[in-house]
A and B are shown apart, each in its own frame.
Chain A
Amino acid sequence: MSGGRPVGPARDVPRARVRAQADLRALAQAGAYLLPSLVVFCVFVFYPLVRNLELSLYETTPFGGLGLFTGAGNYAQLLGSPAFLNSLRVTFLFALYTVPAGIALGLPLALLANRRIRGIVVYRTAYSFTIAVSIAAAALIWHWLLDPNVGILDYLLTLVHLPKVGWLTDPRWALPAVAATTVWKDLGFNVVVLLAALQGVPDELVEAARIDGAGQWGVFRSVVVPAISPALFFVGVVSTIGVVQSFGQIHILTQGGPLDSTNVIVYSIYRNAFFNFRFGLAAAQAMILFVLVLVLTGLQFAVFERWVTYQ
């Protein structure tokens, strides 16, 4: 109510000032609730982000101090270095081996887990079980399965009269072997997300397609896939970003070898920073990884935008 008689304590105070005071009070109150999170974010997320950028522009001392300012020197060195280009190539191949296979295996399992039969919850639990397994545990199990002396995989090969394969010591097989471990470990996640999406497909939609004479495959292709495309998109993006950041399975299975055939970006950052003590160079690698992750997200958005149907 403007005009009229002003009531309450605000009698002589201009309205704008009252508002400003209320805003300030709300800000102070909200600030108290936000402070704990903000402190942690400032110290362990925002400050290090800036600091990492700064480090990447310097030649650093072995103790992480700033030495000579080199500007884009570290970046130029990386982009001209065969080792770094190799780590980019390996990371790309690793994603190529892992992400499509993960979706190709996850989708049929999710479809089966979406059947309406008795005891289905047992299957759902089994198919998504690897969520509960850490990457270290997964890598240790597979290290043993892939062992040329006591591993079951090479034993199966000898059963069908094939020569044994040094899965983790042969440069041709090491990356596929690490990828297989990763696909197994991530399978549970893919099943859970895709199953949740399948459960959201309306029955009426499927029924309508059936009545229109669509077979199983027709329903799947023209009804189910479009309906769950946001989840397929989500799994694709999240797996790619996750795979590009892989470290634990590489550290346990191959240490980047043999012959750098599994030396993905994160592993090479780790080597450069904590073995060669070249923090500046490693920081520049991390910045490139950061940009790569952002670009990947953007690229997948652009590609999927064409056929992803949002409800």
Chain B
Amino acid sequence: MTRPIAGRLPRAPALRRAAGRAGLDLAMVAIALVVLFPLLFALSTSLKTDVEVNQYPPSLWPHTIDLGNYVAALQQAPLARFLLNSFIQSGAVTLGQLVTASLAAFAFAFIQFPGRQALFFLFLATLMIPGEVTLIPNYLTIKALGWLNTYPALIAPFLATGFGTFLLRQFFLTIPRELADAAVIDGCSRRRFLWTIVIPLARPALATLGIYAFLATWNQYLWPLLVVNSTEMRTVQIGLALLQAQEAVSWGLVMAGVILIVLPTVLLFLLGYRHVVRGLTAGAVKG
């Protein structure tokens, strides 16, 4: 049957545009799959048995879900211990940076003192110094202190942050000065003003710094490689890399390890996407 629908037919350009949009939608899905493919394939392989991992041609999906690789990674590697070490290191560094950066940013934002500009510049200058330049002397310092293979070696060098101080200071400066003046008039000490007014107001900025610090510390590679060489003090990144460097490597086991070590940062990324983005773009936006 033919009904006169010509009037409702979309005109050709509109049709073309709709087709173009659908094509673009499809392309976006395909691109997402390509970008995520290495991770998805690693996840799928971590669930295969050893026999299937080494099968040729490789299979995209595991025929049977097998958690053996995860058990082996946690116990034999021993990734469980590495995870604990990394949590202790990253947790302590994050907490430490939040405290030292809050204190320093508070001084820069709320106290008028001689040499403020120069000191602030000094803090920013730490961002210009690549870690490689301080690597050898720091290693020698840690060795001289007898700190090799200890948590302090993994934590102490990172307890201050020029970036974090800058980030928090920028946020503190948006807190109205009248609030500070009012607090002083009310007989509120500087310390109480910081803890009861500034810190609660700055929670979003603190979250940004905290997530950024945790991600950066968790993913460290060169420094933990240098200052730790005993199995029980290793962090996850090094522990897993050395596991792979052994002969007769089981790729299924290594991929299970990869999934385990990216899990905490992936969770942080998914839950705190806004903060991750803000931390990364702070430099680009503020110039």
Q: Is A167 an interface residue (CB 8 A)?
A: no
Q: Is the interface of B mostly helix, strand, loop or mixed?
A: helix
8 Å CB contact of B130 from A41, A137, A197, A293: A293
Query: Do the beta carbons of B222 and A247 come within 8 Å of each other?
Result: yes
Q: Which of B232-249 contact A (CB under 8 A)?
A: 237-238, 240-241, 244-245
A104 at the interface (CB under 8 A from B): no
Q: Which residues of A contact B238 (CB under 8 A)?
A: 136
A155 contacts B58, CB within 8 Å? yes
Is B183 part of the contact surface with A, judged by Cβ < 8 Å?
Answer: no
Interface assignment of A78: CB less than 8 Å from any CB of chain B: no
Across the interface, B103 reaches (CB within 8 A) one of A37, A52, A130, namely A37
Q: Closest CB-CB distance, B99 to chain A, in whole Å? A: 7
Taken together as a complex, chains A and B put the C-alpha atoms of A117 and B116 apart, in Å, by 48
The contact of B156 among A37, A40, A134, A193, by CB within 8 Å, is A40
Known: A140-B258, A230-B287, A245-B130. Contact between A150 and B251, CB under 8 A? yes
Within 8 A of A (CB), among B67-121: 99-101, 103-104, 106-107, 111-116, 119
**A294 CB contact (under 8 Å) in B113, B122, B128, B283:** B128
Q: How far is the CA of A235 from the CA of B240 in the complex (A)?
A: 30
B54 touches A248 (CB 8 A): no
Contacts of A124 in B (CB 8 A): 273
Taking CB atoms, residues of chain A closer than 8 Å to B28 are 112, 115, 123
A196 touches B284 (CB 8 A): yes
B54 touches A41 (CB 8 A): no
Chain B 131-147 near chain A by CB (<8 Å), digits 1 or 0: 11111111111010000
**One of A33, A49, A129, A147 near B104 (C-beta < 8 A):** A33
A184–B140 Cα distance when bound, in Å, is: 35
The distance in angstroms between the C-alpha atoms of A145 and B34, with both chains bound, is 14
* Residues in B116-170 with C-beta less than 8 Å from chain A: 116, 119, 122-123, 126, 128-141, 143, 156-157, 159-162, 165
Q: Is the CB of A310 within 8 A of B287?
A: yes
* B130 lies within 8 A of A123 (CB): no
B254 on the interface (CB 8 Å rule)? yes
A64-84 vs B, CB cutoff 8 Å, 1 = contact: the mask equals: 100000000000000000000
B281:A196 contact, CB within 8 angstroms:
yes
Q: Which residues of A contact B35 (CB under 8 A)?
A: 109, 126-127, 129-130, 184, 187
Taking Cβ atoms with an 8 Å cutoff, the residues of B that contact A are 24-25, 27-28, 31-32, 35-36, 38-39, 41-42, 45, 53-54, 56-58, 99-101, 103-104, 106-107, 111-116, 119, 122-123, 126, 128-141, 143, 156-157, 159-162, 165, 190, 215, 218-219, 221-222, 225-226, 237-238, 240-241, 244-245, 251, 254-255, 257-258, 261-262, 265-266, 268-270, 273, 276-277, 280-281, 283-285, 287
Q: Which 7 A-B pairs have the closest CB atoms?
A: A48-B137, A40-B160, A132-B269, A134-B219, A33-B107, A248-B221, A48-B134
- What is A's interface to B at a CB cutoff of 8 Å? 23, 26-27, 29-30, 33-34, 36-41, 43-45, 47-49, 51-52, 55, 64, 109, 112, 115, 117, 122-145, 147, 149-150, 152, 155, 184, 187, 189, 192-193, 196-197, 200, 230-231, 234-235, 238, 241, 245, 247-248, 251-252, 266, 269-270, 273-274, 279, 282-283, 286-287, 289-290, 293-294, 310
